[in-house]
Amino acid sequence: MSAETTTAAGPAHGAAADVVAVLMVAEWPLARQLGEWVAGMASFALPGRLASKASDHLLDTLGAMIAGIDEAPARAAAEVFRRPGPVPQGGVFGLWHNRATSDRLDAAVVNGVAAHCLEIDDTEGCDHSGAVVVPVLLSLLPEVRGEQGASRILPALVAGYEVGRRVQLALGGYDRHNARGWHSTATCGVFAATAAASVMLGLEGEQTASALGLAASSSSGGWAFSADGAMSKQLHPGQAARAGLEAALLAQAGVRGPWRVFDPVWGGFFVTHGDGSAEVDPEALVRDLGSTWHFLHSAIKPYAACRSAHTALDAFRDILAEQQLCPDDVRAVRVHVGEFLRPMICPPAPGDAAQARMSLPHALALLLEGKRLVPEDFVFFDAPEVRARLELLEVVPDPVEGREPLVEVVTKAGTFAARVEHARGGERFPLSPAEVEAKFRGLTEGRLERAHQDEWIAWARSFFS
């Protein structure tokens, strides 16, 4: 191998393969290097652990999408983005009945919004990767049919999650990027959508590089919604899905995108979005590509609440279980939260269930009321008994920034404290496939008959056996 080329070591194909070997020229722009790797995913046979996890995330996102399709932001999106076409809104051919069909770009928006409406979709990718990537896969299924489409859907999903997460890491990670006011589901998710679409369409490396370059022009979306509970958060995945799909289609049609978009040039992505931060690491885009899978970090949520609140929710539940406490035993709850997390998970008093799902205090109050924190539980955010529980809760500053919240539960018998470092549903403590299927059934109960639930589960599992 010459000094001018690099490659991921190991086999490229086969059931036992865990590496994608792609020849890359070191002098190529980063977008071209990343594009070649993404293009190689179209013919990559996923190893078992990746395929199984990809199937879980596909099914989980479908459940979130079906559950959210009739929520206000999704209904509004369906009213605005309603050009006729072949793609079912909130479903897959043969698995959804009496639903409107849309143009592929419009369907990507509606399905992306629906998947994120109830704050129950997956996380810890670009942030919410499933709500961005899966709508793209569904939009392209009608034209990438048969064995080819079936063989690409999980590799396309993994490629999308991988690229979206790598862009986020290259920007300095979730905390650094979001602390600047960016919502990474939107800013990084557009690249996840582009990568997934490029794999489904079978784009070559140069075309994919162009698609990624074009996608950079649509990387936007901020956290201003947290100040007043606006609906823009729910729109972000749909906007990113549409823009990423559009970028791939334009590249397929011959539009040349800027290959040096990730390099240190005037107007480059990291120069502008990174804002000169020392934590920005563009090489993270391609470092150990195909041998280190950041997709494995993605998490499936057990609660319909902001993921940043989940460690505190786990800690609170652990205390109740370990001390065998009943809700009425609790006299007070103190949660120590750092400055970065406070505006995210302790926003102003919510005015509706969607805002309440972003509120750690409301989630804790609902737990004290015996709720499981499924999406519909948050409808009771303003019930008198929940307001009474909120009176017991206090959020206090954590003097050490960057730590997970510390939870203290005060009872007649004493004060019990816990801090959970890794939330349930994540890489350390993943949900089992059976738990993912149970979650899907819970989300779609009342929306799908049992037989139809079985069909959906079988469909999502058909790509992995």
pLDDT tens digits along 326-371: 999 999 999 999 999 999 999 989 999 999 999 999 999 999 999 9
DSSP letter, residue 408: E
User: Token match 């590799």: residue?
Assistant: 155
Question: DSSP string spanning 70-113?
Answer: TSHHHHHHHHHS----SEETTS-TTS--S--EE-HHHHHHHHHH
What distances in angstroms separate CA 336 from CA 156, 167, 310, one per listed residue? 40, 31, 14
Asked if residue 420 lies in contact with residue 404, where contact means CB atoms within 8 angstroms, the answer is: yes
Please check the confidence at residue 6 and state whether its pLDDT lies above 70. no
Please check the confidence at residue 2 and state whether its pLDDT lies above 60. no
pLDDT at position 98: 64
Half-sphere exposure of 129 (CA within 13 A, CB side): 32
pLDDT at position 8: 39
Please check the confidence at residue 9 and state whether its pLDDT lies above 50. no
pLDDT tens digits along 252-310: 999 999 999 999 999 999 999 887 677 899 999 999 998 999 999 999 999 999 999 99
Please check the confidence at residue 13 and state whether its pLDDT lies above 50. no
Half-sphere exposure of 179 (CA within 13 A, CB side): 16
The SS3 call for residue 418 is strand
pLDDT at position 16: 35
What residues does 411 pair with on adjacent strands?
A: 330, 414
19-30: string of b/e by CB count within 10 Å (b at 16+)? bbbbebeeebbb
Q: Is the dihedral of CA 454, 458, 461, 465 positive or negative?
A: positive
pLDDT at position 92: 85
pLDDT tens digits along 399-443: 999 999 999 999 999 999 999 999 999 999 999 999 999 999 999
Q: What percent of the chain has pLDDT over 90?
A: 84
Q: Which domains does the chain have, with CATH numbers?
A: 5-297 (1.10.4100.10), 307-418 (3.30.1330.120)
pLDDT at position 21: 57
pLDDT at position 10: 32
Asked if residue 408 lies in contact with residue 331, where contact means CB atoms within 8 angstroms, the answer is: no
